[in-house]
A = this chain, B = another copy of it.
Amino acid sequence: MNTLAEENYLKAIYKLASLTENVSTNQIAASLETKASSVTDMLRKLSDKTLINYTRYQGVSLTEAGEKVAINIIRKHRLWEYFLVEKLNFKWDEVHDMAEEMEHISSNELIDRLDEFMGFPKRDPHGDPIPDCNGQFKTNDLKPISALAVSAGGIISGVRDHTSVFLQYLEKQGLIIGKKIMIKEVISYDNTVVLQMDNKTLQISREVANNLLIAI
């Protein structure tokens, strides 16, 4: 059907499209750690397969067919992550790279049965919604902690950064999904956020606050 490289491009475009309507060549290159010239080549190929809308210098968007493929890859990624954590007892910071490979296992029958085997989970270990077999899922209506005002609060429900080093830091601080937090203060000097959790006070940097998502 589609090659591994094509699938990775479609997924990257899908994720970038949630931020900006039309995705640029350079954005894709940065996201896939490749060169703009390589991206241009691939865009022509994906365009020929009518998986993206592409006109030179104009940026790209996914077609309906392309979006369907992208969502299916994300579905696989998140279900495998869930499997690795819930069934094989990996930690949430260990599963992303493995899922990056497993999301390309082609069989849909397999992934549907995996979904059923695990009881149709709704969220992956990082709080991201898992699309169902028709590609439907609730969009995450989450805000970064950095967007909250003082005395506002909520429940930790997702992360923007899936790297092992970030997730391990959160774990160490006890900042895991499901925890309730409240903003006590934002230090104006460097935007450090002081927050309350479990009757404890702790400080997180602006950068961490940007990458930690709260359900309000």
13 other contacts beyond A87-B117, A90-B113, with CB at 8 A cut-off? A84-B110, A88-B110, A88-B113, A88-B114, A88-B117, A89-B113, A98-B105, A98-B107, A98-B110, A101-B106, A101-B107, A102-B105, A105-B105
Min CB distance, A111 to chain B, in Å?
10
Considering the complex, give the chain B residue whose CB is closest to the CB of A90.
B113
Residues of B within 8 A of A107 (CB): 98, 101
CB distance from A151 to the nearest CB of B (A): 44
Residues of A in contact with B, size category:
10 to 19
List, sorted by A's number, 16 A–B pairs whose CB atoms are closer than 8 Å: A84-B110, A87-B117, A88-B110, A88-B113, A88-B114, A88-B117, A89-B113, A90-B113, A98-B105, A98-B107, A98-B110, A101-B105, A101-B106, A101-B107, A102-B105, A105-B105
Q: Which B residue's beta carbon lies closest to that of A89?
A: B113
- A89 CB contacts on chain B under 8 angstroms: 113
Most chain B CB within 10 A, of A101, A102, A105, A110, is at A110
In the bound assembly, the distance between CA atoms of A28 and B116 in angstroms comes to 39
CB distance from A25 to the nearest CB of B (A): 28
Chain B residues contacting A113 (CB-CB under 8 Å) are: 88-90
**Nearest-Cβ distance from residue A93 to partner chain B, whole angstroms:** 14
Nearest residue (CB) in B for A88 is B113
